[in-house]
Structure 1
Amino acid sequence: MESYKEIIELLKGQHPSGLAKLYQGYGRAFYSYCIQKWNLSEDEAWEVVYRTLETLVLKIGNYDLLTQVDFDRFVYRVLINFLRQEYRSKKQKETGQVVYVDFSAESGSNEGFANYLNRDAIHSYYNQEGSEHPQLTSLKNALESMEQTDKDLLLLRAQNYSYDEIAKLLGIDNNQLKVKHHRAKKKLVEILNGQSNY
């Protein structure tokens, strides 16, 4: 795989070979990951790959990526963002139901992607990331203690659903939904700070 520094310099300089080297280094790993871990079709997988590569070309020069791990972490996050959008859209069309993407599941595991890159450093990094942080556990517990509507509202907004989409998905009135979201966030913070038991 090409040096991440070389790829960054080529992309910053808008050199045509930058995209080619990025694809050579990551494209096939992206594609395999989409197909085998997220069960996308070939067309869906290539769409995610193209959107990921396009975004990396446009955005990667705006970040200070000092190490290979920083570079791979950034690349992974961009890929996962598009995978999440594709997966959510696909499942919603199939079922007509609200879909949450569970990143603790194998389909979205960091360790799984590290295996596709096949590098010891990134494998080690994602193994470390894969162990759940205590704050994440606290957040999950806090969300579970909330009323279902508040929990759904917070999770849907976190996945970039609009208020109109949320109202439709949850079958509730959009009136004051923004205010309800603000109140739900306040409740969540209070629970996390140990100030309330909802």
Structure 2
Amino acid sequence: MGKILILNGSPRAPKSNSKRYAEIFTRHCPDETVYQNITKRNHQELCAAMEGYTDVLFVFPLYADSLPVGLLNFLKTLEANPPASKPVISILINCGFLEYEQNEVAIRIMHFFCRRNGFTIGSVLMLGSGEAILETPFKYIAQRNIKRLAHSITNKDYRILHATMPLPKSLFRLAAQSYWTRYGKKFGTTKEQMQTMEIEGK
């Protein structure tokens, strides 16, 4: 049996969708799992802890077609302080776009890091519509693919997986517009403000 360290690289890890995805993974994973948030102050601790795991699963959202800055900073520390026994690195990434392919640049960055530093890449799950899917009737699609991810890591049958909501783009845009308008209203921000740079001052 393996032992999997789940590292949440979301900037708002304690309240993130990434945390919810990690919880689903843990429920479906036959192997022992340990969950940790990546923070500004625990980089060295997490690098040292990797020594005791067969696999590490990075769970994080897409940020501007790349990795969250906190995760990038952690990878710099990991590059300088690699464990003697390197675990297999797997990835669960989600983006707010309907198209899961938006995650591919970030995945290439992770692949490059692993090749450069001698880590083996395991399984990858790219989720589209990751901000919303768990609140819709399509949540089973995310859950099913996270279960597949968990079993692929446990069985060492590493693979690339992807999923998104089966919606036309036009309908997804309408739903997204409605969601963000209601979300902004909750915090006193109008749709017009969200369409300008005024939102930066909120």
Q: Same fold (TM over 0.5)?
A: no
Larger helix fraction of residues: 1
Structure 1 length-normalised TM = 0.29
Q: Which has the higher contact order (CA 8 A, sep 6+)?
A: 2
State the TM-score, normalized to the length of structure 2. 0.29
